[in-house]
Chain A
Amino acid sequence: MPPPAELTSPSDLELVAAFRSGDERAATRLVERYSPSVARFLYSAGAVRDELDDLVQETMFRAFRRLDSWRGESGLRSWLFSIAGNLFKDEARKRKGRTVLSLADHDAPSSTGPDHELEADEAAERIRAGLATLPRLQREVFLRRVQLGEGYDAIAAALGTTPGAARVHYHHAVKQLKELVQ
């Protein structure tokens, strides 16, 4: 027996359709659904915490303005990551010469956790600092592959490249990150 309608969560397509017909609550639900993962993506790519709110807000705002260009073939989250990636690239270009992230200014890991958690946090932060130094395609292919679990075909479609090239970008990213972790 299917669950009652009030218990099922509306799909992205349903929410987008509702937003297009003027339902503000649909926009609220979409932002609440995806803004945390967009924030994580931007943070992982090297954005500093103080700027995350603004970057995520701008990403979501741009997405609603360009909603007609989302055809529903790629997932909405993947499409949002593309917008966020472009925005982050533009911001980085605007402040050319200024370091987005260095090993010294990363968010300090919590000191309350067990030692192995601290080590895991530190390894993750080294990777984050390393990611910020990679070319954009390498960084985004790596994050999409690892954090979103996207396949190379989907990554290639989202980033406007080929699956073979996406695989090569991933390989190069891993090779450089390995040196940071070891």
Chain B
Amino acid sequence: MTAIDCDTMRDRMPEVARGSATWAAAEAAHLADCAECRAEWAVVSSAVTLGARVEAEFDAAGTARKVVARLRHRAPAQWPARRYLVGLAAAAALVLVVSRPGLQLPAPTSTEEARFLPELDSLTVDELTVIAEGFEAPLTETTIIEGQPLFELDSTQLERVLRSLEG
């Protein structure tokens, strides 16, 4: 066996297969001696050709026309989604503000106003805090998972946000 090791061969294979380098004499000798490297070379050298015909035959001009046409109409197309998302964002913001610990809400001015969510009347402040935190978690999780602003979510992702809000 030659002085070249298999890790070195592995690192060199992609560039040799792509034609941007050639085997040195010692590397060629290793390849001739090492069945594992020959098997790996068969994979890499075949994978380099994978999809070459697709790339050569792809209708780039036609795709460009379609993409540009969509970009021209992108603002009107986004309006319905934006209206929906503005409402959603406002609701989310309200939940976050209301659930902030220590927030002092103005006292209700009448008995009717105080009973807009009567099922919460019997809960303690700590219990209400736990409920409020339960609202915050899914919103945060959704934002982190997707790593996208709300207006870029697709319909599936929006459904997940809605489901998380609805519990």
Contacts and interface: CB of A to CB of B under 8 A. Distances in A.
Interface of A: 24, 27-29, 31-33, 35-37, 39-41, 43-44, 49, 52-53, 56-57, 60-61, 64-66, 90, 94, 110, 120-121, 123-125, 127-128, 142-143, 145-147, 149, 170-171, 174, 177-178, 181-182
Q: Which are the 10 A-B pairs with shortest beta-carbon distances?
A: A31-B64, A40-B55, A40-B51, A36-B58, A123-B46, A32-B60, A39-B58, A124-B50, A44-B51, A43-B51
B40 A174 contact: yes
Contacts of B63: 31, 35, 53, 56-57, 60
Interface string B137-159: 00000000000000010101000
A178 B13 CA distance: 14
B18 A40 contact: no
A27 B50 contact: no
A3 B4 CA distance: 43
B83 interface: no
Contacts of B52: 40
Interface stretch (B25-33, B68-76, B114-122): B68-76
A29 B49 CA distance: 25
Q: Is the interface of B mostly helix, strand, loop or mixed?
A: helix
A138 to B, nearest CB: 13
B67 A52 contact: no
A65 B55 contact: no
Interface residues of B, number: 40
A146 B17 contact: yes
Contact of A149 (B14, B59, B156): B14
A178 B58 contact: no
Chain A CB within 10 Å — which of B39, B55, B61, B67 has the most? B67
Contact of B40 (A40, A57, A90, A178): A178
Contacts of A145: 14
Chain B CB within 10 Å — which of A39, A41, A121 has the most? A39
A181 B67 contact: no
Nearest to B64: A31
25 contacts: A27-B68, A28-B68, A32-B64, A35-B58, A35-B64, A36-B55, A40-B52, A40-B54, A41-B51, A43-B51, A52-B58, A56-B63, A57-B66, A60-B67, A65-B74, A120-B46, A124-B47, A127-B43, A146-B18, A146-B44, A147-B51, A149-B20, A174-B44, A178-B40, A182-B39
Contact of B43 (A29, A149, A177): A177
Interface in B103-128: none
A177 B13 CA distance: 15
B5 interface: no
A40 B154 CA distance: 25
A162 to B, nearest CB: 17
Contacts of B20: 149
A157 to B, nearest CB: 15
B48 interface: yes
A44 B14 contact: no
Nearest to B20: A149
B152 A39 contact: no
A53 to B, nearest CB: 7
Contact of A147 (B48, B66, B68): B48
A181 B152 contact: no
